[in-house]
Structure 1
Amino acid sequence: MFVRGIRGAITVDSNSEQEILDATTELLSEIVNENEVNPEHICSVFVTMTTDLDATFPARAIRQMEDWDLVPLMCSVEIPVHGSLAKCIRLMVTVNTEKAQRQMVHVYLRGAQILRPDLAPSSQ
């Protein structure tokens, strides 16, 4: 078994509680589905948001997902680099897996695809 990191990001249109929670759920669900993992495989989830998002903690969305209540979570704020992508939520999911590093599927949704165009669905 190896501990691997799976990256992901998603953007939202507005700084609203429901939009942040929905986007976080969508992103984590996509990471889990693409990598065929379940909460028992998860070591931890690190969540960051850009400074323009402060309506809620995105970890609340993860806590509301079935069987995720014992997974260690941490929220943080992204470094506010001038010109960086706005209204962005990022996840780093660490998992126990037999898969090689190259087999991990990193997920970038909506406007966040600009962060890693090499990982966008059309280039995979």
Structure 2
Amino acid sequence: MDEVENLQAQIKRRLKETGKSRKNLAEMIFAEDHDDDNDEKARAQFVESFKKQLNRPTTPPEKLQRYLEILLQGHRGLEVRTESIASSYLDKATLRRMEKLSREIEKMLEKKLLS
């Protein structure tokens, strides 16, 4: 599997995992790229173009990589952070070490998803 096919497969898999459609992701990308995202005709054209890019072997890998990053950022933005019960029982130094470890694990998982 070449780089383009791999990125296309990753995007499709992540969309399925997050329950988003290709149209949802295309609209997220369009909104990020355009200050005036009220242009329905331009949005519809981009959505159709985007869907084709997920199947074309000639789509630049840089473009697909960017789409994947936007998808991952959008998914991360939906996460809910709540106060941990551990903060009631553990000292601050231990909590900081746990936070650092969590960030390292998250980076490793992201790196694995993007490879």
> Under a length normalisation based on structure 2, what TM-score does the superposition of the two structures give?
0.33
Higher strand share: 1
Which of structures 1 and 2 has the bigger CA Rg? 2
Structure with greater contact order relative to length (CA < 8 Å, sep ≥ 6): 1
Could you say which structure has the higher helix fraction? Answer: 2
